[in-house]
Amino acid sequence: MKEFDAIIIGTGQAGPSIAARCAAEGLKTAIVERKRFGGTCVNNGCTPTKALVASARSAFMARRSSDYGVNIEGEITVDMKAVKARKDKIVNQSTTGVENWLKNTENMTVFEGHARFEGAHTVSVGEELLKADKIFINVGGRAYVPEGFEGVDYLDNSSIMDVDFVPDHLIIIGGSYIGLEFGQMYRRFGSQVTIIEKGPRLVGKEDEDVSDEIRKILEEEGIKFRFNATCLGATMDGDQVKVNVDCKSGDNEILGSHLLVATGRQPNTDDLGLEKAGIAANERGFITVDDHLRTNVDGVWALGDCNGRGAFTHTAYNDFEIVAANLFDHDPRKVSDRITCYGLFIDPALGRIGMTENEVRKSGKKALIGTRTMKRIARAKEKGETHGFMKILIDAETHKILGATILGIEGDEIIHSLLDIMYADAPYKVIQRAVHIHPTVSELIPTTLADLKPLE
């Protein structure tokens, strides 16, 4: 038995930070990683996908060069081995950085292996048995693959990172965030892409106008869609994959060279031994936590994707901030103070904060709405990227911002000016009366807020 003051399981976004803080506070700290340092974001999430998105955009813009009066002789081709090498270099810098940081931190011991609870405050790592009064779970999640795909060589968001070629025809199961990003990416690399969605529209959590605009953007690039599809499974047909779908219209089978299953995520808690520790989880495997990220077992916290309170790198890091503030800073922070915010990193990107229009309508709040299409924004026209729109929702009584959507050029960056006003708990007129720089996309936020109308 090796005794510590704190044990951290997992080195995703929250784990290393809470481990370093514990060590800095003088706690004898252990951190355990079973596979790759850095977790999902660094290895097969944000970092590598955005590196690939950048390469795909470069190819897309090269093909559009004549639109800007720039002539490039010859065919635009993509060297996927070079694309992958660039991505791998960026990833390796991050993973190596995390590993070196942890292994060279005073008061910290790194264990490499699979951690499992043996009791409420004991954890085994191979032949080692560790004990601590404080344990922080940061085990993240992995791709969820439904039944019906066992007999085919499918890709998920992790295994597709090893692809160093352009698939002839990539079929994607799932018309949400992961599926759409990879769909546009590989279409720009040169693949034929078909996205199959069981629902009636893309990204069903978003408002209908957002879904429709995303579909238009991607269809214009040549991506094909199948909606209202029940995916019954897939089989191999020679060297091709045959996906069986039950749709109201169209063929019941789709043939492609490769298959990406992007049907959601599940937490890495099924082999953690939670039952031995008495740690509660819901029917989907997400660990139950309170507003301070505490589990039902005293001295055990769950941070990041495994707690079901957020599925993003930024929410995982905020989990660390909340736990550290409460433990060490006497600063009572809580999860419920967090405002919903996320992006969909197709091109142009979607930035989303607060409530959707559908949610505002269901809430019964009296609201105002301001909208503007990117076609009316000078900077978007100058750059030749006029897809999308912005939409801002205001509480008619308090004049506070309820939520906003910016789907368009730099939408994932611009949205933060509105998010900051929400965190300041200030009325919308603070930003509406601000003078923004011309010519930018951001300068149209005050203009949009000056033309609010009642939400009917």
Q: pLDDT tens-digit profile of 305-331? A: 999 998 899 999 999 999 999 999 999
* Domain 159-263, architecture per CATH: 3-Layer(bba) Sandwich (3.50)
- Is 341-454 a domain of CATH 3.30.390.10? no
Q: pLDDT tens-digit profile of 276-298? A: 999 999 999 999 999 999 999 99
Backbone angles phi, psi at 223, to 5 degrees: -80, 135
Residue 249 has pLDDT above 70, yes or no: no
Rounded distance between C-alpha atoms, residue 237 and residue 217, angstroms = 32
Residue 301 has pLDDT above 70, yes or no: yes
Give me the pLDDT at residue 442, please: 96
Q: Which of 219, 213, 168 is nearest to 195 (CA)?
A: 219
Q: pLDDT tens-digit profile of 97-145? A: 999 999 999 999 999 999 999 999 999 999 999 999 999 999 999 999 9
Q: Which of 37, 34, 7 is nearest to 114 (CA)?
A: 34
Confidence band of 248 (pLDDT split at 50, 70, 90): low
How large a percentage of the chain has pLDDT more than 70? Answer: 99
Average the pLDDT over 344-348 and give the result.
Answer: 97
Give me the pLDDT at residue 34, please: 94
Give me the pLDDT at residue 185, please: 98
Q: pLDDT tens-digit profile of 212-221? A: 999 999 999 9
- CATH no. of 2-143+266-337: 3.50.50.60
SS3 453: strand
Residue 1: CB partners within 8 Å, gap ≥ 6? 122, 129, 130, 131
Binning the chain into helix, strand and coil, the percentages to the nearest 5 are 35, 25, 40
Confidence band of 148 (pLDDT split at 50, 70, 90): confident
Burial environment of residue 256 by CB neighbours within 10 A (0 to 12, 13 to 18, 19 or more): buried
Chain-centroid distance of CA 176 in Å reads 11
C-beta separation of 351 from 414 below 8 A: yes
Residue 158 has pLDDT above 90, yes or no: yes
Record the tokens describing residue 322, joined without a space: 């909340």
Q: pLDDT tens-digit profile of 77-107? A: 999 999 999 999 999 999 999 999 999 999 9
DSSP element (H, E) containing 356? none
The angle, 0 to 180 degrees and rounded to 10, between the axes of the packed helices 208-220 and 177-189 is 20
| Higher-confidence position of 248 and 296 | 296
> Where does 91-178 show beta strands of DSSP type E?
108-112, 115-119, 122-125, 128-137, 141-143, 169-173
Indicate the range of 155-164, 205-214, 227-236, 411-420 predicted with least confidence.
Answer: 227-236
DSSP element (H, E) containing 390? strand 389-395
Confidence band of 247 (pLDDT split at 50, 70, 90): low
Give me the pLDDT at residue 245, please: 86
Give me the pLDDT at residue 250, please: 67
Chain-centroid distance of CA 245 in Å reads 27
DSSP 221-247: TT-EEE-S-EEEEEEEETTEEEEEEE-
Indicate the range of 167-181, 249-263, 303-317 predicted with least confidence.
Answer: 249-263
Q: Same topology for domains 159-263 and 341-454, yes or no?
A: no
DSSP element (H, E) containing 8? strand 2-9
pTM for this model (two decimals): 0.94
Give me the pLDDT at residue 233, please: 84
Q: pLDDT tens-digit profile of 366-378? A: 999 999 999 999 9
Rounded distance between C-alpha atoms, residue 10 and residue 20, angstroms = 13
Confidence band of 151 (pLDDT split at 50, 70, 90): confident
Rounded distance between C-alpha atoms, residue 349 and residue 355, angstroms = 18
Rounded distance between C-alpha atoms, residue 243 and residue 198, angstroms = 13
Rounded distance between C-alpha atoms, residue 334 and residue 347, angstroms = 34
Q: Where are the domains of the chain?
A: 2-143+266-337, 159-263, 341-454
Q: Write down the residue that tokens 């011309």 correspond to.
A: 438
Give me the pLDDT at residue 251, please: 73
> What are the angstrom distances between the C-alpha of 283 and each of 56, 120, 268, 347, 393?
39, 21, 13, 36, 35
Q: pLDDT tens-digit profile of 396-415? A: 999 999 999 999 999 999 99
Rounded distance between C-alpha atoms, residue 429 and residue 421, angstroms = 10
